[in-house]
Structure 1
Amino acid sequence: MSVMPTDEWLNEFLASQKFNYNRKFEDLQCSILCNRLVEVFNGGSPEEIQFELQQQGLFQPHEKIDIKKLQNQNAWKIVREEFIYLKKRWSGPNIPIYIFPITQEQTMTNKNGVAYPNALFLFIGELEKEELKALFAHEYNHVCRLQYLNKSLNEVTLLDSLILEGLAECAVEEFYGDKWVAPWLSYYSLDKMRKIWKEHFLPQINIQGLDNHVEFLYGGKLPQWIGYCIGYEIVRTYIKNHSSNKLHIKSSKEILVGSDFPLQ
């Protein structure tokens, strides 16, 4: 599979915009891009796929996109080479990888990625080479971990989600340096994280379904990004106490037990 030729799809989309004045750009995006993704989403409609990907960062159909800018920074080549390297390093699966321009509505960052068990999507603007490699590694680490867990997204526990994010950030730190880890990982002291862990996370640690983990990961009533921070510290302290060797094929419980976070 490897990196799909989405630059060719995007050029087709732009050409169709010029010659289909009477057709909505949203319909063109749906037919030219999302129609090609039906198998990835197990038969979901192109309209459902379009909505899903737009929530993750896919450019809006009316936005002006610059494909040449992404081609000039060798986005497809860089990701392809990194995929070959990490696939061998992590004994990872051979999945399709889709690169698209990120929406201009994404003002906080110039990048986003989303990993599914059978595919990976990157939504990007102009990035440094190492930044793009780190983004891909974070998402591909998710894919490798989900393959090991062998659970549906509705079966994944809160502990699994925390470890999932922690593993990805620690992999980025190991391969590309702390410059490219998420900035919010330093928001809270270890003592504060342990306190929140005991009060709010431990009682719900086995709750299943990614939709039920949003509050814990991103915050709201809880502090912002707290789950990401706790997951990172669980994995980081496990590595400190043991090693990072074959970490993505250890159970979530084993990683937690070997960390500096209490079980009760």
Structure 2
Amino acid sequence: MSWTLHWLEAEGDLAPWHEKISVQICEAEAAVASIVGPQAIDVLIAYRHSGPVIPELGLCGFAYSPSMFMIACNPANPNFDNSVSDGAFKRQVVHEVHHCLRYAGPGYGRTLGEAIVSEGLAGRFVEHVLGTPPELWEKAVDPALIMEHLPDRDTVWSTTYDHSEWFFGTKTLPRWLGYTMGYEVVGKWIRNVGHLDAMVWINTPADSILAAVEVVPRCQDDRPKQT
């Protein structure tokens, strides 16, 4: 196996779920490898009795580098068992693997626009690899509301944007706005481009995608210089 599984259980025992989790990780690895080939990745599965998880799933993913990601699990959450059984866990794994692959190329990004595109690409990658419908956070906001909150050019290229506000609705913006916006933006780009090979899925720069769908009518050279 190109992926190496590590159990992080200092906070609690995940043994009752080892088999189901291992199966979903193996299935995710095979599905991803069929698209991009085998990858060497460390997969951390962590018991978490405190700290954030997606309440509707009882778990949450975090990508750290081109070769490592973590799925945090809270078995006390009433939705966790279903997530391990119904494929939600596998979808989270594939989502985080796309982030890892993108880290090896253009990266997740420091700006709002780059984050929107990275999350949209990861979501559409899951759809492509597994043939699954959008997640809750990818269909959380009505299209009219998305247009109402479409960021201006300066905000799109801002490196000081509030990630929690745009993606988790911690202040005034709708919860999961950034995820839904990214899913829709990348979906439009895919429809315009047509067939995509593996490297296009992973390495297309955010500004190219945003310009192609006319979200931001500004070329790469016009972006604020990062210092």
Partner of 1:120: 69
For these two proteins, the number of residue pairs brought into alignment is 202
> Larger radius of gyration, structure 1 or 2?
1
Distance 1:66 1:253, change over 3 A: closer
Shift of 1:237: 0.7
Higher helix share: 1
Alignment of 1:102-251 (within 5 A): 102-103=48-49, 106=53, 107-117=55-65, 118-124=67-73, 125-126=80-81, 127-128=84-85, 130-150=87-107, 156-179=110-133, 181-197=134-150, 200-208=151-159, 212-219=162-169, 220-243=171-194, 245=196, 246-251=200-205
- TM-score when scaled to structure 2? 0.75
Structure 2: gaps spanning 5 or more residues? 74-79, 219-227
Partner of 1:45: none
C-alpha distance in 2, partners of 1:160/1:263?
Answer: 15
Structure 1: gaps spanning 5 or more residues? 11-28, 30-60
Shift of 1:205: 1.2
Letter matched to residue 168 of structure 2:
Y
Partner of 2:3: 2
Provide the identity percentage. 18
Show structure 1 runs of 4+ deviating over 6 A: none
- TM-score when scaled to structure 1? 0.66
C-alpha distance in 2, partners of 1:244/1:132?
Answer: 27
Cα deviation digits, residues 143-190 of structure 1 (max 9, x gap): 11121114xx7x6221111111101111122233444x3213323332
Shift of 1:253: 1.2
Aligned CA-pair RMSD: 2.8
Distance 1:187 1:98, change over 3 A: closer
Greater CA drift, 88-97 or 159-168: 88-97
Distance 1:186 1:5, change over 3 A: closer
Distance 1:158 1:194, change over 3 A: same
